[in-house]
């Protein structure tokens, strides 16, 4: 049994024990049962479509967020650990055993990877030695820019992710990393599931995408972080096109 499940069981058992001791002349004290929405932000009492509207609005208005997990797109799985805000983002991406870093400041996107990544992308060993561990400027006209910049764009990424498909419904109270949540589903889960925080602002905390297209967790909502330009000796401008296939 997980620590979260054990904690929930203990809390429920404690409430039941207390209620069993509190009696009146007619039996147990009325209302002595645990209210899953007690002390929450109240969204757990709303219909699923209202919960979705509120959590999307909360996500859009947040200054920053960290997301981690997997995204499957066009048959390819990407493992992400990204911090995002309106001015850009930074973090790491892994796909097909290859890892690389992304940094976007305004419109400028940088890609940082080791020699193995660049040698694989170039098809030979010509690029690896030069670009190993460097922040490589990604030209906006290069196919890689459109392919990877979306991973650093908070609004674009969240707008595409935080959509459940099919009929919406609530699916009970849960917990995510110790925070109480209300879960909403699309088409009874086949259209995706989303856990929404019941504590404080109703931010989305965990997403299972429809069709097994990945699972993501969201954290550090509203917590700013620095985006710093790489030093000149750490940067390579490869021109109008990267050595990628």
**pLDDT for the residue 105:** 97
Measured CA to CA, the distance from residue 7 to residue 27 in angstroms comes to: 28
pLDDT digits (tens, 9 = 90+) for 27-39: 444 445 578 899 9
Burial class (CB in 10 A: 0-12, 13-18, 19+), 166: middle
Measured CA to CA, the distance from residue 67 to residue 204 in angstroms comes to: 11
8 Å CB contact between 82 and 152: yes
- Return the structure tokens found at 235: 């940067």
Does residue 30 sit in helix, strand or coil?
coil
pLDDT digits (tens, 9 = 90+) for 109-144: 999 999 888 887 655 555 556 788 999 999 988 888
92 φ/ψ angles, rounded to the nearest 5 degrees: -125, 150
**Alpha carbon of residue 206 to chain centroid:** 7
Measured CA to CA, the distance from residue 75 to residue 213 in angstroms comes to: 9
**Alpha carbon of residue 171 to chain centroid:** 20
- Return the structure tokens found at 216: 């993501």
8 Å CB contact between 51 and 170: yes
- Return the structure tokens found at 245: 């296939």
Query: Whose CA is closest to 100, among 108, 91, 109?
Result: 91
Ranges of each domain in the chain: 1-30
Digit-by-digit pLDDT tens for the chain (245 residues) are 444 444 444 444 444 444 444 433 334 444 455 788 999 999 999 999 999 999 999 999 999 999 999 999 888 999 999 999 999 999 999 998 899 999 999 999 999 999 888 887 655 555 556 788 999 999 988 888 988 999 999 999 999 899 899 999 999 999 999 999 999 999 999 999 999 999 999 999 999 999 999 999 999 999 999 999 999 999 998 776 665 54
Q: Which positions ≥6 away from 50 have C-beta within 8 Å?
A: 43
Does the pTM surpass 0.95? The reply is: no
- Return the structure tokens found at 29: 């004290």
**pLDDT for the residue 109:** 96
Q: Position of tokens 């002595």?
A: 32
């Amino acid at each position: 049994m997980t620590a979260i499940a054990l904690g929930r069981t203990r809390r429920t058992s404690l409430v039941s024990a207390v209620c069993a001791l509190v009696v009146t002349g007619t039996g147990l004290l009325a209302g002595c049962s645990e209210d899953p929405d007690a002390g929450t932000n109240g969204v757990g009492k709303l219909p699923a479509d209202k919960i979705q509207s509120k959590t999307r609005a909360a996500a859009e208005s947040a200054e920053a967020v960290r997301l981690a997990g997997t995204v499957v797109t066009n048959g390819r799985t990407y493992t992400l650990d990204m911090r995002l805000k309106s001015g850009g983002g930074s973090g790491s991406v892994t796909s097909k055993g290859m890892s690389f870093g992304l940094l976007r400041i305004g419109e400028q996107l940088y890609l940082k990877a080791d020699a193995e990544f660049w040698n694989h992308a170039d098809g030979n060993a010509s690029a690896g030695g030069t670009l190993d561990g460097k922040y490589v400027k990604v030209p906006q006209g290069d196919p890689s820019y459109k392919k990877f910049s979306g991973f650093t764009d908070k609004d674009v990424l969240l707008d595409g992710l935080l959509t459940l498909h099919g009929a919406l419904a609530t699916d009970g109270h849960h917990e995510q990393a110790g925070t109480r949540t209300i879960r909403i589903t699309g088409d009874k889960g086949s259209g995706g599931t989303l856990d929404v925080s019941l504590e404080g602002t109703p931010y989305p905390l965990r997403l299972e995408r429809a069709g097994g297209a990945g699972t993501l967790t969201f954290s550090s909502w509203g917590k700013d972080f620095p985006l710093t330009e790489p030093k000149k000796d750490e940067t390579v401008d490869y021109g109008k096109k990267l050595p990628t296939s």
